[in-house]
Structure 1
Amino acid sequence: MPRGSSPARERQYEHIRDSLKARGNPRSEEIAARTVNKERARSGEAKEASPSSLRGPSSSRRGGLNSHKGPQGRTYDELYHEAAERGIQGRSKMNKAELEQALRKH
């Protein structure tokens, strides 16, 4: 985070980073920083803003629209972590389809 960021933006960065880490995303810090920087640019908190940062829906809106959609649904890592949280036995030997089925049953 750049110096002079507000405490609210710091918390937003930490929340996004921790959420992505919990889902097993290895690029959590990069994605969180980019998301917060784009929000800072959109709200006028940043010194400079690229035109693409100012166009389109906000990051939170875009993420909400696109989450868990499409033919693939959630990733294997997301399914695996949820199975671990629920204590599903044999999850390490399951493929994506088997994890989905086990989570539906559990």
Structure 2
Amino acid sequence: MPEAWSAKRERQYDHVRKSQLDQGSSEAEAEEIAARTVNKTRAQEGESEEASETSTEDKSPSERGGERSGSGPQGRTKDQLYRDAQREGVEGRSQMDKDQLEEEVARREDR
């Protein structure tokens, strides 16, 4: 973690990282998401020396609450679907393509 982060931002980073790990993200992915979340919050709070317009004028990560996650025109990513299938205990998931994973996860979620 960068030295410029306050104790509050370090706690926020740890919380987001642990949450991502609980959701099945890899350690590297969890660390990246946590760092991006903290840095965006710091930019919006005026705690950083430099900030992009996207960081300062967009919704904060807590307001957005993942609303854009997997909501694009293609829906959830194959990795997201794979993790969902893993949680649902879908057998043969490693051999499935995105469409098959999507179908199987939807079928199980409808139960």
TM-score, length-normalised on structure 2? 0.71
Q: Is the 8 A contact 1:41 1:49 kept in 2?
A: yes
**1:97 aligned partner:** 99
Comparing 95-104 and 29-38, the one that deviates more: 29-38
C-alpha separation between the residues in 1 aligned to 2:105 and 2:99? 10
After superposition, residues 35-74 of structure 1 pair within 5 angstroms as: 35-46=37-48, 48-52=49-53, 53-62=55-64, 64-74=66-76
CA RMSD after TM alignment:
2.7
- The percentage of aligned residue pairs carrying the same residue is 49
C-alpha separation between the residues in 1 aligned to 2:73 and 2:4? 42
* Structure 1 unpaired stretches of 5+: none
Q: Which has the higher contact order (CA 8 A, sep 6+)?
A: 1
C-alpha separation between the residues in 2 aligned to 1:73 and 1:23? 18
Task: For residue 40 of structure 1, report the CA deviation from its aligned partner.
Answer: 1.4
Alignment length, in residue pairs?
105
TM-score, length-normalised on structure 1? 0.74
Comparing 49-58 and 36-45, the one that deviates more: 49-58
Residue type matched to 1:9 in 2?
R
Task: For residue 27 of structure 1, report the CA deviation from its aligned partner.
Answer: 4.0
Residue type matched to 2:51 in 1?
S
Task: For residue 7 of structure 1, report the CA deviation from its aligned partner.
Answer: 3.8
C-alpha separation between the residues in 1 aligned to 2:103 and 2:64? 28
Task: For residue 33 of structure 1, report the CA deviation from its aligned partner.
Answer: 1.3
Q: Among residues 6, 15, 24, which one is paired with 1:22 in the alignment?
A: 24
